[in-house]
A and B are shown apart, each in its own frame.
Chain A
Amino acid sequence: MARARLRVAVGLLWLLRIGAFVLLFAPIALVIAMSFGGDAYATFPPRSWSFKWYLNVFRRDEFASSFLTSLTVAALVTPISVGIGTLAAYGLWRRPGATARALESVFMSPVLLPLVVTGLAVLVFVNRVGIGTGIPAIVGAHVAITFPYAFRAVLAALGRYDRRLDEAAASLKVRPFRTFWHVTLPLIRPGIVAGAMFAFVMSFDDFAATIFLIAPDTRTLPIAIYQYMEFNLDPTVSAVSSLLVVLATIGVLVVERVIGVDRFFGIGDSTR
């Protein structure tokens, strides 16, 4: 009886696993398949095959320009978030104590904020101050959103760093800034890179906060895709989506190479 019960349970377990991966991948596989369809509207299965939708992506203004906007924003947000995050993490790490712990909570607090609230708050702010929406506003919102993750990544890297190396450098008459640059930074670089990757992806992918801050001629790629698919049913969206999937895959593989996906997502063992 117990054996049968066990078999059912194991069967159920594998069913759930397969179901989960189907949920995760079947839609994506579908999109990629559809992107090669020859028809003007999305049908499945496609009746003919073509690359023309990919060409359309590059030809259509809104995708090219919004991709550039997304890239620009992410390229601005990442160094800002990582830069400020590294300084903050290093500053807290240098003087541990109750104040440092309290500040750590403060710096992590934006993760509590719903993205729409962040977007709306920044919108109200830029209107008050007179800057208006557009790239600076979007960058500002994205920095607020991504900073906690960059900060935490660097803080985690510092947690694994041996404080006595700093003392060793001081015993060699090396001043604190030089110590940070030549000793600490090289050793926490993987953590910084991980934080940077995370910040870049979060900024690039963001929709909910960004949608409050777009301007008539300024929008990011996710927004452009959404606006396009509201009115158009052709597989161009599938094509640009497939490109983004490829981008995500490359990003994940790079992370695996640099520091390992297990450590990046907090599942690594300490022995690595």
Chain B
Amino acid sequence: MSEIVLSLSAVEIRYGASKVVEAASFDVRDGEFVTLLGPSGSGKTSLLRAIAGFVPVAAGEVRLLGHRVNDMPAYERDVGLVFQNYALFPHMTVAENLSFGPRMMKLPTAETATRVDEALQHVRLGAYAGRYPHELSGGQQQRVAIARALAMRSKLLLLDEPMSNLDARLRAEMRVELVALLRGIGATALSVTHNQEEALAMSDRVIVMAEGGIRQIGTPGEIYRFPADAFVAGFIGDANVIEATFAAVDGEATRFTVPWGETVRAAGRAPEEGDALLLLRPESVGVCAPGEAPDVASNRVRGRLVARAYMGAYVEMRAALGGIELVAKVPADHASAHLALGDDIVLHWRPDVVRVIRR
């Protein structure tokens, strides 16, 4: 087991009288890339700033490498922070920005120079050492901000919405680059974002937050396929969330009563009786015309096609039935993609793609 770099137990953060973060507990291990994911107002940024030391912790403990740092001022903590707006010192060159921390730590000149060079090499900005921040593009400024944090060789790197100020194409490139870079130097990182694609693509583990609380911690696969509750299900990727009631056990599967009157088979035994939510990912839902026969074991339901959107790689289709709508994503060249609006269609899915979530 690799060592624990950051450990939070029951951390609570208050702003005035209201609780911004409640009962936050998690660990970050050496070499991991962990992301705090959530919508605005979820408290993720406050938590990051508390770890950095800019926001006081009202209750609970924050430990860095085993040492309690609750009362330690920001400038004594061994964490590097990459700011959302980069916060590069405008009156210093790139090299001076990078060497500022080491210089203030009174490192020998040679050591400082080595660190600066290394950091610049890591972000591939060696030729820009003498430039000023305002002479650089947004992407370059981001890399300088990362390099500046790297030059400190802190045990933990904190990233505040690192991709949010980049345009879409640059974002996709930087995602890959950044993860490769951090993995290459063995850095441990905690990142904050509201972009679930980014979180899934980059992280070893994702911590999903909402309204000040942690909803789920897991690998991207676990979060996506086994969301803990309706919020996580809805926030990560698209989802059909169906209210259901336990009906009966059916061999190796369970049957649930659903709003459109019939029952749905979900693979596996649902341990409890009572109310549940069934999660169905649109890409797991197939579409065919009435009369075409899907696989016998599949669940199926008939509805009216009310919307269709061509998304390039796939076609999104919405069907209305029994008072609700279900969404399906179908490959663009699939036969069912040509069905017309207003037509009756059949949606079908296998029992093993149905996720059961407690209510």
Binding site for B on A (CB under 8 A): 162, 164-165, 167-176, 178-179, 182-183, 186-187
Task: Indicate if the CB atoms of B89 and A167 lie closer than 8 Å.
Answer: no
CB of B100 within 8 Å of the partner chain:
yes
A165 to B89, CA, bound (A): 7
Which chain B residues numbered 58 to 89 have a C-beta less than 8 Å away from chain A?
Answer: 73-81, 83, 85, 87-89
Q: Which residues of B contact A178 (CB under 8 A)?
A: 104
CB of B26 within 8 Å of the partner chain:
no
CB of B56 within 8 Å of the partner chain:
no
Chain B interface size, under 10 / 10 to 19 / 20 to 34 / 35 or more: 20 to 34
A49 to B176, CA, bound (A): 81
Task: Indicate if the CB atoms of B89 and A168 lie closer than 8 Å.
Answer: yes
Which chain B residues numbered 23 to 77 have a C-beta less than 8 Å away from chain A?
Answer: 52-54, 73-77
CB of B91 within 8 Å of the partner chain:
yes
Q: Which residues of A contact B53 (CB under 8 A)?
A: 170
Task: Indicate if the CB atoms of B105 and A173 lie closer than 8 Å.
Answer: yes
CB of B101 within 8 Å of the partner chain:
yes
A187 to B101, CA, bound (A): 18
Task: Indicate if the CB atoms of B90 and A187 lie closer than 8 Å.
Answer: yes
Minimum Cβ distance to chain A for residue B83 (Å): 6
Task: Indicate if the CB atoms of A164 and B83 lie closer than 8 Å.
Answer: yes
Of A165, A175, A179, which is within 8 A of B87 by CB?
Answer: A165
Contact with A along B99-113 (1 / 0, CB 8 A): 011001100000000
CB of B232 within 8 Å of the partner chain:
no
Task: Indicate if the CB atoms of A173 and B104 lie closer than 8 Å.
Answer: yes
Q: Which residues of B contact A162 (CB under 8 A)?
A: 87
Of B77, B81, B91, B152, which is within 8 A of A186 by CB?
Answer: B91
A172 to B54, CA, bound (A): 13
Q: Which residues of B contact A174 (CB under 8 A)?
A: 75, 100-101, 104
CB of B355 within 8 Å of the partner chain:
no
Task: Indicate if the CB atoms of B54 and A167 lie closer than 8 Å.
Answer: yes
User: Chain B residue with minimal CB distance to A175?
Assistant: B75
Q: Which residues of A contact B100 (CB under 8 A)?
A: 169, 172, 174, 182
Minimum Cβ distance to chain B for residue A36 (Å): 47
A38 to B165, CA, bound (A): 71
A5 to B117, CA, bound (A): 72
Task: With A172-B104, A174-B104 as known contacts, state yes or no: A167 contacts B90, CB within 8 Å.
Answer: no
CB of B148 within 8 Å of the partner chain:
yes
CB of B21 within 8 Å of the partner chain:
no
User: Chain A residue with minimal CB distance to B74?
Assistant: A170
Task: Indicate if the CB atoms of A171 and B85 lie closer than 8 Å.
Answer: no
Task: With A178-B104, A182-B100 as known contacts, state yes or no: A171 contacts B74, CB within 8 Å.
Answer: yes
User: Chain A residue with minimal CB distance to B53?
Assistant: A170
Q: Which residues of B contact A171 (CB under 8 A)?
A: 52, 74, 79-81, 83, 149, 158
A168 to B52, CA, bound (A): 10
Task: Indicate if the CB atoms of B87 and A168 lie closer than 8 Å.
Answer: yes
Minimum Cβ distance to chain A for residue B235 (Å): 28
The 9 closest A-B pairs by CB, nearest first: A172-B101, A171-B81, A168-B87, A170-B74, A170-B75, A164-B87, A174-B104, A186-B91, A173-B75
A49 to B53, CA, bound (A): 73
Task: Indicate if the CB atoms of A183 and B52 lie closer than 8 Å.
Answer: no
User: Chain A residue with minimal CB distance to B86?
Assistant: A168
Minimum Cβ distance to chain A for residue B86 (Å): 8
Excluding A169-B100, A173-B76, A176-B75, 11 further A-B contacts by CB distance (< 8 Å) are A162-B87, A164-B87, A167-B83, A168-B81, A168-B88, A170-B73, A170-B74, A170-B75, A173-B104, A179-B75, A186-B91
Task: Indicate if the CB atoms of B152 and A167 lie closer than 8 Å.
Answer: no
Of B83, B88, B89, B152, which is within 8 A of A173 by CB?
Answer: B152
User: Chain B residue with minimal CB distance to A165?
Assistant: B87
Minimum Cβ distance to chain A for residue B141 (Å): 13
